[in-house]
Amino acid sequence: MLHCAMSQLTCLKCGWEWIPRGVGIPRNCPRCRTGGWRELKNPQGAAHMAVGAAIRLGKLPKLDGSIMCADCGVPACQYDHRDYSKPLEVDPVCQSCNRKRGPANDWPPPNHGKWIRFELPDEVHLQLKILAARRGVTLESLIVEQLSRK
């Protein structure tokens, strides 16, 4: 049976909440520590970031066990989006109900096949940013240019 752990941490950089594994208390989430997800240009990532910010600012209640699932009434541990273009229109749900609901109505987007997700070490990311600045192009266009070379 799936259940929600209440020992979630909040990333100091992006506000994303995650359940840590292992020993110690990391200050940042796995996404920020690995250098991935630096620029969230997809509606799903932007909506998740907006919810994290709304929780930090007190616009949405923190899911600490006092908020009940909109579907089954057990303590909610996640916010579910039905439409990523409306990032703060969310329902508090438990993990089981979130899985039953399935993906949002507008996900994946029509151009989803054009997205490539990869992670870069911080040093490589910094070198690419410097190179892009020297050439006067965006980091994204530099990467696309390098990937399209044969």
On the CB side of 142, CA atoms within 13 Å amount to 15
Can you give the pLDDT at residue 26? 65
Same domain, 60 and 105: yes
Pick the most confident of 21-30, 45-54, 105-114, 141-150. 45-54
Same domain, 71 and 127: no
Beta pairing partners, 90: 81
Same domain, 30 and 98: yes
Can you give the pLDDT at residue 48? 84
- φ, ψ of residue 102 to 5 degrees: the values are 80, -170
Q: Residue 83 in contact with residue 104, Cβ under 8 Å? A: yes
The alpha helices in the chain, defined as continuous H runs, are 30-34, 43-57, 95-101, 122-135, 139-148
Same domain, 84 and 145: no
Same domain, 90 and 44: yes
Read off the pLDDT of residues 13-24 as tens digits, 9 standing for 90 and up: 777 776 666 666
Same domain, 126 and 114: no
Domain assignment of residue 132, given as a range: 120-150
Q: Is the pLDDT of residue 11 over 90?
A: no
Nearest to 55 by CA among 22, 97, 14: 14
Same domain, 14 and 45: yes
Provide the domain count of the chain.
2
> Looking at the domain assignment, is residue 4 inside a domain?
no
* pLDDT averaged over every residue in the chain: 78
> Looking at the domain assignment, is residue 3 inside a domain?
no
Can you give the pLDDT at residue 117? 67
